[in-house]
Amino acid sequence: MNDKDLMRAALAVAQQASASGDVPVGAVIVNSSGEIVATGHNERELNIDPTAHAEIVAIRKAAQALGQWRLEDHTIVVTLEPCPMCAGAIAQSRISTLVFGAWDEKGGAVGSVWDVIRDPRALNKLEVRGGVLEEECSAMLKEFIQGVRKKD
């Protein structure tokens, strides 16, 4: 699968978050053969857990499925630019490649506000590709936010 196909899979996972009132962000982790080994969506509201971002959920599931925390030679595809916590977790898990959709101009940590992953002092270097299906990813988030504002 290519980046766009994988992002479409992440968008499908993101839709599941809305059922619990969570912001629709989705993530998929694939191995070097392109097989999806884990998925995750935001579960902060569902689990009353501030760390339950899509990336963290997917990383935890992948580590459990593989029986190891090192996710070398794996790619994470996420619909929104990771925050500092998630960028750190991606680096710590040794994931090789990060692909994301929408930029997060308020809290992104892969180029928008900070660049945790590509900081020259970072120990783990990984490839980053941003803006994949950016319009679709942004539209899903905007639709959710507009729905929340209508309720308030």
**pLDDT of 1:** 83
| Catalytic, out of 35, 43, 55, 134 | 55
For residues 57 and 62, give the distance between their C-alpha atoms in angstroms, rounded to a whole number. 9
Going from the N-terminus, what domains does the chain have, and what CATH number goes with each? Answer: 3-145 (3.40.140.10)
The answer to whether the annotation marks 83 as part of a ligand binding site is: yes
pLDDT in tens, 38-97: 999 999 999 999 999 999 999 999 999 999 999 999 999 999 999 999 999 999 999 999
User: 86: annotated binding-site residue?
Assistant: yes
Check if 55 is active-site. Answer: yes
137 is in an annotated binding site: no
Assess contact for 130 and 81: CB atoms under 8 A. yes
* Residue 149 confidence (pLDDT): 59
Predicted TM-score (pTM) of the model is: 0.95
Q: List, in sequence order, every beta strand (DSSP E) within the chain.
A: 26-30, 36-41, 75-80, 97-102, 127-129
